[in-house]
Amino acid sequence: MESKTLLVTGFEPFGTETTNPSWEAVKRLPDRIGAYRVERRLLPVEFGQAAALAIDAADRVHPDAILCVGLAASRTAITPEAIGVNVRDASIPDNAGSKPEGDPIDACGPAAIFSTLPVRKMVEAITAVGIPAQLSYSAGTYVCNDLLYSLLRRFDGTRTRVAFIHIPLASAIPVETSARVLCAAIEAM
């Protein structure tokens, strides 16, 4: 079988958390999932910089798909994100101290861009392994949305598809389970 490349990203800890389950889960993924060879990168929780590093990695590995993973501490289900919006609005500073208030990500970009991977199928695949999942229509306005929107904008019209999955705290869903769930979502892509 011809091998495809998947770039998977997780985040560093931020706010009051000392670990980030997104990276803990991404770390636990096997090197090969279905048709994909997995390349992984740890990203800083910094507006602009997270996307810049992800785009730099993508320019090196030429992925067929990019799946970004982040923590949504207030959620209890796994939530693939349907859409990225063109705004930065932070309630806490990012890890570089930046706290934008309603700024556009890209002054020339559309208000929103839909994910280019089959997020509905991902929700079904996660639910099928017995873990609560729900399609989300808001990735927030913090660094996760910044990353999703920026990647969708950058790879718009190219063969590289992009999606984002928010996962809950490890106390709600253990990171081993989240890793298993990510595999199921990737196999459904």
What is the nearest approach in angstroms of ligand PCA to the Cβ of residue 87? Answer: 12
88-89 vs 65-71, strand pairing mode: unpaired
Q: Which of 144, 176, 183, 187 is catalytic?
A: 144
Q: Is 164 in the site for ligand PCA (CB under 6 A)?
A: no
What is the nearest approach in angstroms of ligand PCA to the Cβ of residue 145? Answer: 6
Q: Is 140 in the site for ligand PCA (CB under 6 A)?
A: yes
Q: Is 100 in the site for ligand PCA (CB under 6 A)?
A: no
Q: Is 143 in the site for ligand PCA (CB under 6 A)?
A: yes
Beta bridge pairs of residue 68: 9, 164
Q: Is 20 in the site for ligand PCA (CB under 6 A)?
A: yes
Q: Is 144 a catalytic residue?
A: yes
Q: Which of 24, 39, 46, 81 is catalytic?
A: 81
> Can you tell me which residue has the tokens 């063969």?
159
4-11 vs 36-43, strand pairing mode: parallel
Q: Is 150 in the site for ligand PCA (CB under 6 A)?
A: no
> Can you tell me which residue has the tokens 């931020």?
14
And the tokens for 161?
A: 């598809």
CA atoms within 13 A on the CB side of 176: 0
Q: Is 62 a catalytic residue?
A: no
**Nearest to ligand PCA of 166, 180 (CB atom):** 166
Residue 147 burial class via C-beta count within 10 angstroms: exposed 0-12, middle 13-18, buried 19 and up: buried
Which SS3 state, helix, strand or coil, does residue 5 take?
A: strand
Among the residues of 62-118, which ranges form H helices? none
Kindly tell me which residue out of 45, 87, 175, 188 binds ligand PCA, with binding defined by CB under 6 A.
45
Instruction: Give the angle 122-175-27 at the CA atoms, nearest 5°.
Output: 85
Q: Is 81 a catalytic residue?
A: yes
Kindly tell me which residue out of 6, 8, 9, 14 binds ligand PCA, with binding defined by CB under 6 A.
14
Within 60-79, the residues that bind ligand PCA by CB under 6 A are: 70-72
Which sequence positions are flagged as catalytic? 81, 144, 166
Interface ranges with ligand PCA (CB under 6 A): 11, 14, 20, 22, 45, 70-72, 140, 142-144
